[in-house]
Structure 1
Amino acid sequence: MDKYYVDFKEGEIPKYITIAKHIKKLIDGNKLEDGEKLPSIRSLAILLEVNNVTIVNAYKKLQGDGYAFQKMGSGTYAKRKDINKSFKKEYSEVLKKIAGERLKEYIDFTGETPFSNFFPVASFKDVLNEVLDRDGAEALVYQEALGYEGLRKSISEVFWQDRVHSDDILIVSGAQQGIDIISKALINNNDTVVVEKPTYSGALSVFKWRRADILELPIEKDGVDVEKFEKLLKKNKIKCFYTMSYFQNPTGMTYSIEKKEKILRLAEIYDFYIIEDDYLSELIYDESIEYKSFKSLDKNDRVIYIKSFSKIFLPGIRIGYLIAPLKFKESIQNSKVNTDISTSSLMQRALDLYIKEGRWKEYINNLKLVYKERYILMEKYLRKYLGDKVSFISPGGGLHFYLKINNSNEVDSIELFRKAKEKKVLITPGTLFYKVPSDGREYFRIGFSQADENSMEKGVKIIGNILE
């Protein structure tokens, strides 16, 4: 009964509302099971030293808010709401509603891609014109299913130093399509997939759609716990492990090379495959972080590698690529053909030329300089204005920070999102990144890609005031 105890504060809030709010937090925090019987009206009234009517009103409010149900003659029972469905829809509708011109009224900390103002429009326009002059109408027709051969050769040469053959590279329309194609080719109903906890919501959606059995492994500072992973593998036959190896979305964590090598050994021993989503690895600010992907360390053809140019370059271009193990090469290529036949021919040719002429490397170097400054500033503002209200680990790269609210008994991330939105600040609550949404109510992601220095400081100040 101790968990039901409420410390009433003097003020205008009625006691029954305080009681109902406390029980909601017990339910959302997994401290009350779905369907667990709540204390009788009389016993809870005695514990909290209030009259029976106060408890009756608290239980009625819980029922009205969808957090409890009553069985005639038996009592009142806890009911866990599917906050992911309802809030995911709310979050999506908010972003749609304020998209375009209205978004300029807000300080946007939700962005996952570089600010469009940094995109070298004039340079890319020159490349597009050069492609059209060189190739004419041929630049606008469908390419072979694997993608434009020139681009595949450039990727092989520039990014893999020819260690990967161009015929093993498949061009896709971004990382999300890559995950979808792989899932269609590999994952069947009730196959087991292991994901990081928390993880990218788009990947969770795909695996749920494939009706996979999803198991979660908590992510630590240098990747998932390998010992827990092996214990899980001894009890379960898994098909694949989905990971974001650099600046993981949402936590910002990066795998150590040691953990990568251990997980690759586990993949060989327990016969599963690693889906590596190489996310934002170009934006390394901390020089102690060494770039070595799972794929580059893979000696047994256990890694399915996905890379998106959309995240780091320009979302509208929608180009990425994947490299599949020989065993799945044909089935994954067939899955791509059945999905959309071909990715934009003109954009593939333009990106190929952009990479060949060294413009890609120049663009990335400039972007790193700009965002390293913003990263340092954002970290400074978080420590200055949020202080002990939150805790976080500095990721050393990428475009966001993942924060844990220390005063979680007062404000959770959904409430923070709503209150910040009213003050024209947008954040991303952690509930969107968990299989069980309530696991993420203490966390939120804050990105710095879309806000300038003044906006960053102002926005973080507002968040700090809400968390007071």
Structure 2
Amino acid sequence: MINVSIQFTESGQPKYMQLFDYLKKLIAEGQLKTGEKLPAIRSFAEMLGVNNVTVINAYKQLENNKYITAKKGSGYYVSGSKLHEEELFSSSDIGISDKTSIINFASATPHPSIFPIESFKECINEVIERDKGFAFGYQDSKGFKPLRKSLLTYLNNKYSIKMENEDNIQIVSGSQQGIDLIGKVLINSGDYVITENPTYDGAIAVFKSRGARVVRVNLEQDGIDLIDLEKKIRICKPKLIYVMTSFQNPTTISYSTNKLKDLLALARKYNTYIVEDDSMSDLCYENKRLETLKALDTKNEYVLYLKSFSKILMPGLRVGCMVIPDLLISDFTKIKHASDISSSGLIQRSLERYFETGKWDEHQNYMREIYKGKYEFMLSRLEKLSSYGIKYNKPNGGLYFWIRVPKYMSAREIYDECKAKGLLLIPSSIFYDINNENRDNYIRLSFASSDIEQIREGMTILEKCLAENQKCTK
């Protein structure tokens, strides 16, 4: 019998999820070894003082997430440790590095040297002078009302998202909290969620933490495969579909207008919510306006639109917004209040001034030009690496390049070799599920955190690693 010292809490998280998290940690830390048999359900339940269903559901979650394997007539056994080592590997973990000697092609956040410190400080000072102590109090859980009004105007003018009621705007403490709130409002254990394949690993982590069963649908050049999507909607009856329609993470694909219309038609046909996660549409380097799915949802019925400001502004501000269908407003207000009461009052009030004084538009244009220059320089360096057999698209926007490596190369090995030489990038295993045939075929490069000289040096390191791998095959 394994040594278990779990203490169940009254945190609101079901006991089976607490047990799932605890056993997952034991596996990740190696305290439960590969091939080790887990206790029988009845005896384990008696030992923990819970009913059998709690243990059954915890084991099901572990099995769904590939941590354990069921052997008919024998019981449950810990799966191979290498798979779980990769699962615990996340894009956020890779992207965070405080070593100045490291060149970071993993992070998608702007470098602190280009943060709009002075202009945002002016707004903070103005708010403190105007509002005094009220700037530091709790806000309405929906968010500071003048900010929500400013965002209504901004979303209408910029994306043709037409809302008349500021109550449809929910301020969140960063887009990750937005995804978490969506999970808490819409998902119960055992529900199905459909995502693009590959997709953002942070969203997958949230959905799985709610006990969801994640079903993936491959992407085509203009968005999600609608034929396969409809088939899976019929079978799974998902609670929601999660998509990124502009410069998708990690593939950089943007949806065509026809695909957006057909996707919304499927949501209407099967009465299913779609979560549109948008952090990149502001970063189009062509003279064209990208359409959003939310703009087509004119009756505000099916699309939950999530907007992040971190890629343009400063990630540490932890502020974003959601546009919520009328039927869900009350649920989101309650869950937001239960999560953290409200997002920072000072930051919300300062951001409202940032929008109203025109500083947001000015800074957005400034950042777009900076990112465009980095994009074009990295693209020019990638073109010189084509002789090594790499393949990639030219997204003309966003912050990434999605690179397919030759069949004889391993994305994970390239990651390890580049890291040893001082370059961070992200291997595709982060974004695919464990059994996907493409999980070792791609690398994602971001130019957000690096200056031109760092991009030059980083691409030189990547070329050396590609050359060494090519040489080993000859």
Partner of 2:121: 125
Measured after TM superposition, the shift of residue 118 of structure 1 is 1.3
* Equivalent-residue separation in structure 2 for 1:414 and 1:226 (angstroms): 31
Tell me the distance in 2 between the aligned counterparts of 1:242 and 1:327: 19
Give the 3 Å change call, closer, same or farther, for CA 330–83 of structure 1 in structure 2.
farther
Matching residue of 2:452: 453
Q: Distance in 2 between matches of 1:258 and 1:243?
A: 15
Distance 1:437 1:106, change over 3 A: farther
Q: Which has the larger radius of gyration?
A: 1
1:160 and 2:156 are equivalent in the alignment: yes
Q: Which runs of structure 2 are paired with 1:1-400 in the superposition (5 Å)? A: 81=80, 83=82, 85-89=84-88, 95=94, 99-100=97-98, 102=99, 104-161=100-157, 163-164=162-163, 165-288=165-288, 290-300=289-299, 301-400=301-400
For 2:343 and 2:378, locate their aligned partners in 1 and report how far apart those are by CA, in whole Å: 36
Distance change >3 Å, CA 362–CA 387, structure 1 → 2: farther
- Indicate conservation of the 8 Å contact 2:172/2:178, yes or no: yes
Structure 1 position 84, deviation (Å)? 5.0
In 2: Cα distance, 1:432 partner to 1:95 partner: 10
Q: Contact 2:123 / 2:350 at 8 angstroms: preserved in 1?
A: yes
CA displacement at 1:437 relative to structure 2: 6.2
Looking at structure 1, the residues matched to 263 and 121 of structure 2 have their Cα atoms a distance apart, in angstroms, of 43
Give distance in 2, aligned partners of 1:360 and 1:152. Answer: 15
* CA gap 1:377/1:352 in 2 versus in 1, 3 angstroms: same
- Give percent identity, aligned residues only: 36
In 2: Cα distance, 1:337 partner to 1:169 partner: 15
Q: Distance in 1 between matches of 2:275 and 2:92?
A: 30
CA contact (8 A) 1:245 1:278 kept: yes
Q: What is the Cα deviation at residue 374 of structure 1?
A: 1.0
Structure 2 counterpart of 1:428, from 423, 426, 435: 426
Q: Which amino acid aligns with 1:354?
A: Y
Change in Cα spacing, 1:286 to 1:172, as seen in structure 2 (3 Å) is: same
C-alpha distance in 2, partners of 1:351/1:464?
42
Check the 8 A contact 1:83/1:437 in 2, yes or no: no
Q: 1: distance between equivalents of 2:262 and 2:286?
A: 24
Report deviation, 1:93. Answer: 10
Q: Match for 2:150: what amino acid?
A: S
Looking at structure 2, the residues matched to 235 and 89 of structure 1 have their Cα atoms a distance apart, in angstroms, of 30
With over 3 angstroms needed to count, the CA separation of the structure-2 counterparts of 1:295 and 1:375, relative to structure 1, is: same
Deviation at 1:246, TM superposition (A): 0.7
* 1:92 Cα deviation from its structure 2 partner: 7.6
Q: Distance in 2 between matches of 1:129 and 1:428?
A: 39
Equivalent AA in structure 1 for residue 320 of structure 2: G
2-side partners of 1:82 and 1:321: how far apart? 39
- Normalising by structure 2, we get a TM-score of 0.77
Q: Which residue of 2 aligns with 1:60?
A: none
Residue 396 of structure 1: how far off its partner (Å)? 1.3
Partner deviation per Cα, 1:359-399 (whole Å, 9 max, x = no partner): 00000001111111111111110110343431111111011
1:64 is aligned to: none
Give 1:219 deviation, angstroms. Answer: 1.2
Report if aligned partners of 2:194, 2:215 keep a CA contact under 8 Å in 1.
yes
Q: CA deviation at 1:119?
A: 1.3
In the TM superposition, what is the alpha-carbon distance from 1:89 to its structure 2 partner? Answer: 4.2
Supply the distance in 2 between the matched residues of 1:372 and 1:338 (Cα, whole angstroms). 40
Deviations 1:238-272 (A, max 9, x none): 21100111111111111111100000000011111
SS at match of 2:254: coil
Query: Is residue 140–residue 342 contact of structure 2 (8 Å, CA) maintained in 1?
Result: yes
What amino acid does structure 1 have at the position aligned with 2:327? K
Alignment partners' CA distance in 2, 1:155 and 1:460: 39
The one of 415, 418, 422 aligned to 1:417: 415
Q: Take 1:174 and 1:154, find their aligned partners in 2: how far apart are those partners?
A: 18
Q: Secondary structure at the match of 1:440?
A: coil
Q: What is the Cα deviation at residue 133 of structure 1?
A: 0.5
How many pairs align?
385
Q: For residues 151 and 91 of structure 2, what CA distance do their matches in structure 1 show? A: 34
- Letter of the 2:261 partner, please give it: E
Q: Is the 8 A contact 1:108 1:425 kept in 2?
A: yes
Shift of 1:80: 7.5
Give the partner amino acid of 1:457: R
Aligned counterparts of 1:269 and 1:356: Cα–Cα separation in 2: 40
Q: What's the C-alpha RMSD, in Å, of the aligned pairs?
A: 2.1
Whether the 8 Å contact between 1:403 and 1:443 is mirrored in structure 2 is: yes
Would the aligned equivalents of 1:248 and 1:279 in 2 still touch at CA under 8 Å?
A: no
In structure 2, distance between residues paired with 1:403 and 1:143? 44
Give the direction of change, closer, same or farther, for the CA distance of 1:95–1:293 in structure 2 (3 Å limit). closer
Contact 2:412 2:440 in 1 (8 A): yes
TM-score (structure 1 length as normaliser) = 0.78
Q: Confirm or deny: 8 A CA contact 2:110 2:311 kept in the other structure.
A: yes
From the superposition, tell whether residues 195 and 371 of structure 1 become closer, same or farther in structure 2 (CA, over 3 Å).
same
Please tell me whether the aligned partners of residues 162 and 298 of structure 2 are also in contact (alpha carbons under 8 angstroms): no
Look up the match of 1:21: none
Match in the other structure for 1:49: none
Separation of aligned partners in 1, 2:298 and 2:320: 23
Q: Distance in 1 between matches of 2:89 and 2:294?
A: 38
- Aligned-partner residue type, residue 294 of structure 1: L
1:156, 1:163 within 8 Å by CA — same for their partners in 2?
A: yes
Amino acid of the structure 2 residue aligned with 1:440 = R
Alignment CA distance shift 1:389-1:397 (3 Å): same
Q: How far off is 1:419 after superposition?
A: 0.7
Name structure 1 gaps, 5 residues minimum.
1-34, 36-78
8 Å CA contact 2:388–2:466 kept in 1: the answer is no
Equivalent position of 2:466 in the other structure: 467
- Could you report, residue by residue, the CA deviation over 1:46-103 in whole angstroms, capped at 9, with x for unpaired residues? xxxxxxxxxxxxxxxxxxxxxxxxxxxxxxxxx984545313546689759x832x2x
Unpaired runs of 5+ residues, structure 2, are: 1-34, 36-77, 468-474
Moved more, 160-169 or 270-279: 160-169
